[in-house]
Every structure is written in C-alpha cells, then in structure tokens.
Structure 1
Amino acid sequence: MGDNKTKIITKISILIALTVLMTMVISIPIVGGNGYVNLGDMVIFITALLLNRKYAFIVGGIGSFLADIFLGYSLYAPISFIVKGLEGFIAGRLLDTNIGKKYPLIATMIAGIWMAFGYYIFEIFMYGTKGAIVSVPANLIQGLVGAIAANLVFKALKTSKILKE
C-alpha cells in the first residue's frame, strides 16, 4: 500500500474515532423526545472541510453507526449510517461549489438541516408524523451547532498554521 493511501486511511480512522467519541461524550438527551444532541456532526463537517465528500460520507456514516451501537441505539444505527453519511457528502459537495468555498458555514448548515430532515423522514415510519416532528428542533440545533463549531475549529486550525495549504 502506498504511503499516501496509508495516510488517508489513518486520517479517516482517526476522524471516525473522533466522531464516535464526540457523539458519545457530548451527549445531551432530548427532553420529551427521541435521541440526544451531540457534537459528532462537528467532526463530520471538519472531515468535509479537510478532505472531501467521499471521506465525509465514510466518516459520518461509520462513525455515527458505531456510536449508535455503543450507546444502545442499535435501531438507529442503519438510519444514522445513511443520514449522517449523506450529511457529510452533502457538506463536501456544497463545499466544492463557488458559494461553498466562499461561505463554508452556509454549506455545512445546509447539510445540518438535511440531517434533521433525514431523521424526520425515517422517524415518520417509526413514530408517525406527530411523533417524528418532536425530534426536529433538537436535530436542527445539533446540525447548526455542529456546523458553527466545525467552521470555528477549521478556521482556528488554518490560522494556527497546523494545516498545510
């Protein structure tokens, strides 16, 4: 295996582990709703900002899937794989556009809104429309906080010159 492939696999593995960690450690239960608010989205967005949409899909999908399994939300694991994977992919895709390059916060916020919508769609089948709507506000907050935090961390990393251009 080439040195570059080893570096990519290592980065992806670390980012998956960070997604699991930030999902499990920063876990605030939703009062009267289903699930919890966490900072796993922040790592997914950082992956999209640092790497690309394909790797953001992998990190978002696998990291969130594993976190759900470890936290006992195994029913949500396949849903999280799809929704969070697509969240990373959408962020990465939007970051490739002129608007996304100029305004990365907008690109990541749109992906965070997708995440809330994605869970809502799946939860309609699980809980009905009224039951599914309960988690939308917390998921929106989670996605938007993740977008803001990721952009702040990314900017700090660039400013500190930790990241090479």
Structure 2
Amino acid sequence: MENRILLRKNTPIWITTCALFMALTIALSSFGVPVPGGKLYLCDISIVTAALLLDPVSAMLVGGIGSFLGDMIFYPAPMFVSLVVHGLQAYVISWCAHNTFKNKPIYGALLGVTLGTIILVGGYTLGKIYVYSTFEYAMTKLPFEILQGVIGAVCGILLCYGAGLKRIYERMVLRHHQ
C-alpha cells in the first residue's frame, strides 16, 4: 500500500482511528499492573500499535495527547513528561515503520519499536528525575520502564504483523479511498 493513502487527514476514517487509539491509550493509562514500588502501565501497547498503523504526525498526536489526557485524569504529576515522551516515541516508531526498509517493512517496524523503547526509557527516566527531584527514585523505576517499553513493543508488533491488524487496516483504508 502506498504511504500517501495513510497521510490523508481530516477524513472520517482518520478521525475515528485516531480517536479510537487515544481512547485506548487513556483506558490503558487508567490502571496498572502492581509491581514492586509502583505500577506497570500498558498504554504503550496502544501507542505502538497506533504508530505502526498511522503516519508519524497522527501517531504523535495519539501517543502524546492520549497519554497526556490519561495522566491528567488519573495521575497528573508526569502528564507533561508523557506528552513529550510518548509523542516522540510514537513519531519515531511510525517514521521508521513507514520510511525504512521498504522491501521488508517488518524490519522498519522492529527498528522503530527499538528506538521507541529507548526514547520511552530515557525520556521517562529523565522526566522522573525532574518531576520527583531524585535520581534514586528514577533508578528504582528503570527496570519497570524497560519492561513497559518491551511489553508495548512486542504486543504492538504481534498485533500488527502477527495477528494481521496492519493488513486489515490497510484494506480498510484502501476501500475507503476507492
């Protein structure tokens, strides 16, 4: 499928898809899996999945605004960190998935989710140092940030490429534009 089809904005399918993924991101931000010293959030699953399907700007909006709203509603302290980190994470994943390794798009997706996980871990670690004013607190959360990024990356890849969500989405978009 041609990437220009994915870039058409302000169409009903684009608005609906972005809204759906923002809602999923907010919902998955509303609860966490208890881990030592806090909770593990699953919002990265929807962010990575959206980034693999949508163009970079749409993915950035979904990741940044969706996680910002989720944090604003349920846990406001890191909401601006989430806006920047998840927005950048989604943009990079989407850009790599749609613009690298044209003959093997799964490789572009793997590169994107790897870079996205690095952005997530690094961004949240620096953000927690700033928000909570302590390096030690951020370091205690580091293993769980890594785990959250890996879970989001693996689940997003499996949903899009393993379960065929990417193929279904591309057919839906093509049908809509014919």
CA distance in 2, matches of 1:138, 1:6: 37
Q: Give 1:13-162 correspondences, 5 Å limit.
A: 13-25=19-31, 27-33=32-38, 36-71=39-74, 73-95=75-97, 96-98=99-101, 101-103=105-107, 104-125=109-130, 126-158=132-164, 162=168
Which amino acid in 2 is paired with 1:79?
A: V
Percent identity, please. Answer: 29
Which amino acid in 2 is paired with 1:52?
A: D
Greater alpha carbon shift after TM alignment, 132-141 vs 89-98: 89-98
Change (3 A) 1:76 1:7: same
Contact 2:48–2:93 (CA under 8 A) maintained in structure 1 = yes
Which amino acid in 2 is paired with 1:69?
A: M
Q: Which residue matches 2:176? A: none
State how many pairs are aligned: 160
Q: Deviation at 1:134? A: 1.3
Cα deviation per residue 1:95-145 (whole Å; 9 max; x = unaligned)?
221288242233213201210110111222233222211111101100111
Q: CA RMSD in A?
A: 2.4
CA distance in 2, matches of 1:141, 1:106: 18
CA distance in 2, matches of 1:159, 1:17: 18
Instruction: Tell me the TM-score normalized by structure 1.
Output: 0.85
Change (3 A) 1:157 1:79: same
CA distance in 2, matches of 1:32, 1:116: 17
Helix, strand or coil for the counterpart of 1:134?
A: helix
Greater alpha carbon shift after TM alignment, 120-129 vs 136-145: 120-129
Change (3 A) 1:160 1:78: closer
Contact 1:48–1:88 (CA under 8 A) maintained in structure 2 = yes
CA distance in 2, matches of 1:61, 1:92: 13
Task: Provide structure 1 residue ranges, at least 5 long, that are not aligned to the other structure.
Answer: none
Helix, strand or coil for the counterpart of 1:74?
A: coil
Instruction: Tell me the TM-score normalized by structure 2.
Output: 0.79
CA distance in 1, matches of 2:154, 2:111: 9
CA distance in 2, matches of 1:147, 1:50: 13
Which amino acid in 1 is paired with 2:120?
A: M
CA distance in 1, matches of 2:161, 2:57: 22
